[in-house]
Amino acid sequence: MESGRNSAVVHEQGAARQVREAIVEIVSDSGEGAQKAGQSFATVCAKMGNGVWTVEIIPAEIKPPARSRAGASGIRIRFGSKAVTNMGDQADVVVAFNEQVLYGRIMADAFREGTVILLENRWAKDADEQIRDMYATAVEDFRARGLIVHELPLHEACLKYTTDPRLGKNMFVLGMLCHIYQLNLDLAANEVRAAFKKKGDKVIEQNLALLRGGGEFAAENLTYRFNVPAMPTRQDLVVTNGNQAVGLGVMASGMDLVSMYPITPATSATHYLAGVFQNLGGFIHQAEDEIAAIGFAIGASYAGKTACTITSGPGLALKTEFIGLAVMAEVPLVIVDVQRGGPATGLPTKIEQGDLFAALYASPGDAPKVVMAAATIEECFHMVITARKLAESFRTPVILLTDANLATGQTPYARPRVREDWMAAPIDQSPWPEGVTPYEWDPETGLSRRPIPGQRGGQYVLTGLAHTKQSHVAYDPRANQVGCEMRSRKFAALASTLLPPKIHGDDQGDLLVVGWGSTLGTIDEAVERVREEGYRVSSIHLRFLSPLEPGLAEIFGRFKRVMTIELNYSDPPSGFGGDVQSARRAQLAQYLRAQTLCDVDYWSITPGQPLQPGQVHGVIMERLAAMGVVDQRAAAAHAG
């Protein structure tokens, strides 16, 4: 059976070739509209019934120098006949607006031998001799690397339709790609109309001409024709990225205050909400800093309006003290952390799963809280709703971890069926029952009812000091122990309501891969491949990190080996200089070892980009080889 990743493109003649899936990239300098074209392409694919996953290629600066290797800006679209859950391996077809940005992608291992590069050739005749030389050298180098390079006069061809091809080339390319992949041009035209709706008819007409022109150009100059059969579903679908899903989730959760401070890659959730939140009566507070953002949210929450703050790693670090206060004073609060590379400023636009420890442990003292991680874009929506419910039911802050990959990736998923009970009920202002304290902890569950300002007889002073159930400062030696215990018991109560994780694959075997967050699709796909190759490998994916989903040690016991695969830093398992004791492990692995007392192995890296299924497949094969399940040469062949 031909698998999608092997659908090598060859320069063929004649009829369209049917493939199960394809990976297309559009790369350019920043500001040339590659992402817009790619998103439109992806939307058309999704509308036609294909599974789609997009990944944005984002430089760290707004306008990095033109034609620079690190300045690559663009998008990858992986689409197929079945649902697509991750960015896949190497690209099949790449449209590049200049040759230098391709080096950024080569460094990211985005291409393979046989990847087709449709390259803007205007640089060959550039007035600057240095640019001409760079171009010629690069093209030669690309060919030596086994890339199939077609030099195309894209700029020149666009001049037929516009005086400024820099602004219109993206729609021309969209037309080309629609022709190559036989996408419905009318659907693409609708996307163009929607994209330029605010710019008026003249701009729309010009871009429609570019779109059609691109199609004609491809028909005249290229013989590539592919068909990725679609399997339309009758299910209602929506296409969003993860940050839009978070924004929609905030609205669906009934929260009506988002308090934030701008930080990449979290802010686009607020950008989305800013346009529409008021239609649901919501308000976005752009605070003076990250600390004030969470303080403001806590104030609103204390006053009965459970609020949300959306941030990324550095912001989470600044919010640490306030999170501790929310734990201590049991204030419901939703904190969304769209993870990026760290520490410090790290990799601001790029993915990492490095905030698990920060989410679990960052506050001083004992500060238990709910920590959840969304594994899909769809979960970015639903988990915000869950987060608010848990925050209020358990009177606790809830940290929801997503990441840059989910934030900017787009995929179709089932349209949520909105329920009225997701929305917040009016604040309870009925008189507080006499004799009930503000922390009337249930001795078993640690749960207690919360007085809200306005409730007659409920007056109490919330304090960050250790306190008694009356919220009085704890002066006696036992009171603090009791408070800690009650706050901890809540999470045992929550854990008792959770289901064990579903096992992907058999429920016993040689190797169990454990993941969390946005790597779900990639890990599952890799596990699927090794299973098809006959190996006894399964995977589980954790959504609840604190408290943990139950039954893990028991599940781990059914596999010869358990390993996590994560996008964060770890030392080699043997440590440096043979110091195993000080070896720093991947975060989930370290946490699971401590919590389950099981020998949890790990593999993790920090490339600032999503994992590729082929890469994970190679890791699994290596691990199977180390276990003696498969011989070394077979593993090397697979990994290679």
Partner 1 sequence: MFGLKTDWSLEVLPRYFTLEDYEGGMARWCPGCGDHGVLAAVQRICRDAQLKPESTVSVSGIGCSSRFPHYMKTYGFHGLHGRALPVACGIKSRRPELTIWVATGDGDCCSIGAAHWVHAIRYNMDMVVMLFDNNVYGLTKNQTSPTSRPGSKTNTHPRGSFLPPLNPALTTLSISNVSFVAQTVDWNPVHVYATLKAAYEHKGLSFVRILQRCPQYTPKVFEEAQRDPSLMLLLEHEKGVQADPAGTKIYTNRTQHDPSDINAARQIASREDVIPIGLLFRDADRPRYEEFSSLGADVTIEEKVQALEKELDRFAI
Residue ranges that bind partner 1, judged by CB under 8 A: 43, 46-47, 236-240, 244, 248, 251-252, 254, 256-257, 259, 276, 278-283, 285, 287-289, 291-305, 307, 321-322, 325, 412, 415-416, 418, 420, 423, 451, 453-465, 472-473
CB of 305 to partner 1, least distance (A): 4
CB of 259 to partner 1, least distance (A): 7
Q: Considering only CA atoms, which of 108, 18, 261, 260 is closest in space to residue 612?
A: 108
Cβ partners under 8 Å of residue 14, min gap 6 = 223
Alpha-carbon distance of 387 to 245, in angstroms, equals 14
Which residue's CB is nearer to partner 1, number 295 or number 397? 295
- 39-52 as b/e: b if 16+ CB within 10 A: bbbbbbbbbbebbb
CB of 258 to partner 1, least distance (A): 11
CB of 517 to partner 1, least distance (A): 23
Which residue's CB is nearer to partner 1, number 222 or number 238? 238
CB of 87 to partner 1, least distance (A): 20
CB of 390 to partner 1, least distance (A): 21
Which residue's CB is nearer to partner 1, number 276 or number 627? 276
The single residue listed with the structure tokens 């790609």 is 177
Which residue's CB is nearer to partner 1, number 460 or number 569? 460
CB of 316 to partner 1, least distance (A): 16
Which residue's CB is nearer to partner 1, number 301 or number 564? 301
Which residue's CB is nearer to partner 1, number 50 or number 98? 50
Cβ partners under 8 Å of residue 224, min gap 6 = 9, 11, 12, 93, 116, 180, 218
The single residue listed with the structure tokens 């098809």 is 532
Alpha-carbon distance of 402 to 84, in angstroms, equals 19
- CA distances 505 to 50, 475, 499, 508, 531, Å, are 25, 54, 18, 8, 8
Alpha-carbon distance of 147 to 149, in angstroms, equals 6
Which sign, positive or negative, has the C-alpha torsion 68, 69, 71, 77? positive
Identify whether the C-beta of residue 215 lies closer than 8 Å to the C-beta of residue 189.
no
Which residue's CB is nearer to partner 1, number 5 or number 47? 47
CB of 249 to partner 1, least distance (A): 10
CB of 413 to partner 1, least distance (A): 10
Cβ partners under 8 Å of residue 277, min gap 6 = 247, 250, 251, 256, 258, 283, 284
Identify whether the C-beta of residue 22 lies closer than 8 Å to the C-beta of residue 92.
yes
Which residue's CB is nearer to partner 1, number 48 or number 400? 48
Which residue's CB is nearer to partner 1, number 147 or number 298? 298
Identify whether the C-beta of residue 451 lies closer than 8 Å to the C-beta of residue 304.
no
Alpha-carbon distance of 189 to 193, in angstroms, equals 6
Which residue's CB is nearer to partner 1, number 105 or number 467? 467
Alpha-carbon distance of 353 to 366, in angstroms, equals 23
CB of 191 to partner 1, least distance (A): 11
CB of 39 to partner 1, least distance (A): 12
Alpha-carbon distance of 484 to 480, in angstroms, equals 6
Tell me which amino acid residue 380 is: C
Which residue's CB is nearer to partner 1, number 211 or number 462? 462
- 237-248 as b/e: b if 16+ CB within 10 A: ebbbbbbbbbbb
Identify whether the C-beta of residue 183 lies closer than 8 Å to the C-beta of residue 44.
yes
Alpha-carbon distance of 239 to 414, in angstroms, equals 9
CB of 133 to partner 1, least distance (A): 46
CB atoms near residue 316 (< 10 Å) = 27
512-516-521-524 Cα dihedral, nearest 10 degrees: 10
Which residue's CB is nearer to partner 1, number 167 or number 280? 280
Alpha-carbon distance of 541 to 543, in angstroms, equals 7
Bridge partner list, 310: 336
CB of 408 to partner 1, least distance (A): 15
CB of 466 to partner 1, least distance (A): 12
Which residue's CB is nearer to partner 1, number 380 or number 545? 380
Which residue's CB is nearer to partner 1, number 285 or number 558? 285
Which residue's CB is nearer to partner 1, number 111 or number 277? 277
Identify whether the C-beta of residue 359 lies closer than 8 Å to the C-beta of residue 545.
yes
CB of 65 to partner 1, least distance (A): 34
Q: What is the three-state SS of 518-572?
A: HHHHHHHHHHHHHHHCCCCEEEEEECEEECECCCHHHHHCCEEEEEEEECCCCCC
